Amino acid sequence: MGLRIKKGDTAVVITGKNKGAKGRVLTVMPEDQRVIVEGVNMIKKHQKPNKKFQQGGIIEKEGPLHISNTMLVCPKCNKPTRIGVAVLAGGKKQRSCKKCKEVIE
C-alpha cells in the first residue's frame, strides 16, 4: 500500500495530544505506517555522552505518529485535505487536492 504523504510535505495533526499542530514531514516509515513531523510529538531521551553528543543528558526529539492521525496541507489553498491519485497515460501517478483540484508536486 502506497502512502500519500511524502517527505517534505506540510502536514497537520488531526487527533491526539498534538491536535492542530502543523509542521514539515521529516521522515516517512511506510513499513510501520508512521511519519515524523517537525516540532510535533516531542519526546525526551536520556543520552550518554558520545562523539555526536559530547555533553550527553536529556535531549528532546520528535517521535513518530501514525499516518492516519495526520492530514496533508495543500500548498495551493493552504487547507488540510484528502489526496486524490490520478493515473496518467503511461502509468505515471499524480497527487491532487480534493478541495481545490490542484496538482500537488
What pLDDT is recorded for position 89? 86
Give how far the C-alpha of residue 63 lies from the chain's centroid of Cα atoms, to the nearest Å.
11
Whether 80 and 45 share a structural domain: no
Whether 82 and 56 share a structural domain: no
Q: Which pTM does this prediction carry?
A: 0.84
Whether 67 and 102 share a structural domain: no
Contact 11, 22 (CB under 8 A): yes
For residue 94, the 8-state DSSP code is E
Range of the domain at 87: 76-105
Low-confidence ranges of the chain (pLDDT < 70): 1-2
- Phi and psi, residue 17, nearest 5°: -70, -20
Q: For the chain, what is the domain count?
A: 2
Residue appearing with cell numbers 488531526: 14
What pLDDT is recorded for position 2? 65
